[in-house]
């Protein structure tokens, strides 16, 4: 630790920039930080597509809570195009989770650090708990972008130990909240997804209260009895149009969220292995992202050769782990992205799908770079494929098996 960091740890902090969502955790952070450090607290709220309802009045609320200044920046386009598209192209997941929260953290941290530098702040702060993954993601991003900047996480210091305690602290300090104790699920929302944790979800033995929880869509049982047909166009692995209508990435995700949500697509009930060592039960809504991952994979099935496709599956697993573990700003993640980009040069074409009661049904895929040749694959036309060639291939391919079998036979005869 540098001398500067040691000084800041000794409470010699005059200005802090707080990543502020306006939710329960960060709502109590402003008052606590001012009380603890007797310093200015500047808030930074990132719009990553969580919707007007969550952002409504967030600046005014921060100022009323005691912030000396409040920033609100729209990062939605940057989040989708610079962070979510690379993750989609990689096909990266973590235990089935499409990384909605994890991918948003680096773009938020990047601008948190930028504001701290511009304001000449001594520290940045976040409202992540000491049990979650997000604390690691924010801390590591700050270490990568501003290694001498102090990071303060009140949940790792204060006497508040539960959401119940946080609600009591908010009431004592007259901090207004938009929810009650009965509906204080821990939620994280952005344009890509919405996660739900806490309360009854902490028992994986209980069926989630889907009709109460879901906000981006409906259950498959509630979806229409008629399917919705869509065509998604990709250019070099990036979605560029819906039903032949070109549109920017943000609008594509919005439209697919709407269509997917109405058809009960993208609800994931997951017990995941957190980075900090515990298992956690949560419910994720990712309607548009689920559709895009399915369509992208379908297009790759006809545009990637076997060896590249199989190796890319290994890269996807590692990429997903890096993002989940907060390692976006690392040489390995950057190198993997370059590999992924190289694989996407011919991932261009159209994917037709039908959305029906939670299902994504394939309805055709085409590409000018398709490696699927019907003249070779057809059962009817053998002019491009000499079936007799397979005899020599099988003999050579199976030679190790034959040698092994002969050895066993000879040994057993002795």
Identify the pLDDT of residue 105. 98
What are the extents of the domains in the chain?
Answer: 3-185, 194-304+346-366, 381-413
Average pLDDT on 100-105 reads 98
pTM of this prediction? 0.92
Q: Can you say how many angstroms the Cα of residue 307 is from the centroid of all Cα atoms in its chain?
A: 27
Identify the pLDDT of residue 6. 38
Q: What is the pLDDT of residues 312-370, one digit of tens each?
A: 999 999 999 999 999 999 999 999 999 999 999 999 999 999 999 999 999 999 999 99
Is residue 2 scored above 50 in pLDDT? no
- Domain 3-185 homologous superfamily, CATH: HUPs (3.40.50.620)
Q: Per the structure block, which two tokens stand in for 39?
A: 């310093």
Identify the pLDDT of residue 375. 81
> Which residues, listed in sequence order, are joined to residue 70 by a DSSP beta bridge?
43
What CA–CA distance (Å, rounded) separates 406 from 398?
12
CATH of 194-304+346-366, one of 3.90.1260.10, 3.30.70.260, 2.60.120.620, 3.40.50.300: 3.90.1260.10
Active site residues: 25, 105, 134, 186
- What separation in angstroms does the CA of 333 have from each of 5, 86, 407? 27, 10, 47
Is residue 91 scored above 70 in pLDDT? yes
| Rg from Cα positions in the chain | 26
Q: Per the structure block, which two tokens stand in for 145?
A: 């972008």
């Amino acid at each position: 630790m540098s001398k500067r960091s040691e000084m800041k740890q000794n409470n010699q902090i005059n200005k802090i920039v707080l990543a502020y969502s306006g939710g329960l955790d960060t709502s109590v952070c402003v008052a606590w930080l001012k009380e603890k450090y007797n310093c200015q607290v500047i808030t930074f709220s990132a719009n990553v597509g969580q919707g007007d309802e969550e952002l409504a009045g967030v600046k005014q609320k921060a100022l009323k809570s005691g912030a000396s200044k409040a920033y609100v920046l729209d990062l939605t386009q940057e989040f989708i195009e610079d962070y979510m598209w690379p993750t989609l192209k990689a096909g990266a997941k973590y235990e089935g989770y499409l990384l909605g929260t994890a991918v948003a953290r680096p773009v938020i941290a990047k601008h948190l650090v930028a504001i701290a530098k511009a304001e000449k702040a001594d520290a940045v702060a976040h409202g992540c708990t000491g049990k979650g993954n997000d604390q690691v993601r924010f801390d590591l991003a700050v270490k990568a972008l501003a290694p001498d900047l102090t990071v303060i996480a009140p949940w790792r210091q204060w006497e508040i130990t539960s959401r119940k305690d946080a609600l009591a602290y908010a009431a004592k300090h007259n901090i207004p909240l938009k929810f009650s104790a009965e509906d204080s699920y821990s939620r994280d929302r952005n344009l890509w997804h919405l996660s739900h944790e806490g309360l009854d979800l902490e028992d994986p033995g209980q069926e989630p209260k889907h009709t109460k929880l879901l906000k981006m869509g409906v259950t498959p049982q509630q979806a229409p009895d008629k399917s919705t047909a869509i065509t998604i166009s990709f250019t070099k692995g990036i979605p560029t149009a819906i039903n032949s209508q070109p549109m920017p990435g943000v609008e594509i995700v919005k439209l697919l969220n709407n269509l997917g949500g109405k058809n009960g697509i993208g609800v994931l009930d997951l017990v995941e292995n957190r980075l900090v060592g515990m298992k956690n039960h949560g419910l994720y809504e990712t309607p548009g992202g689920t559709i895009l991952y399915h369509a992208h994979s379908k297009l790759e099935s006809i545009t990637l050769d076997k060896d590249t496709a199989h190796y890319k599956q290994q890269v996807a697993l590692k990429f997903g782990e890096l993002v989940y573990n907060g390692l976006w700003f690392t040489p390995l993640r950057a190198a993997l992205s370059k590999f992924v980009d190289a694989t996407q040069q011919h991932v261009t074409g159209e994917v037709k799908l039908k959305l029906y009661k939670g299902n994504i049904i394939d309805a055709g895929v085409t590409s000018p770079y398709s490696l699927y040749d019907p003249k070779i694959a057809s059962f009817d036309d053998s002019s491009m494929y000499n079936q007799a060639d397979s005899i020599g291939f099988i003999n050579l391919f199976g030679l190790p098996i034959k040698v092994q079998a002969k050895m066993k036979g000879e040994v057993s005869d002795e």
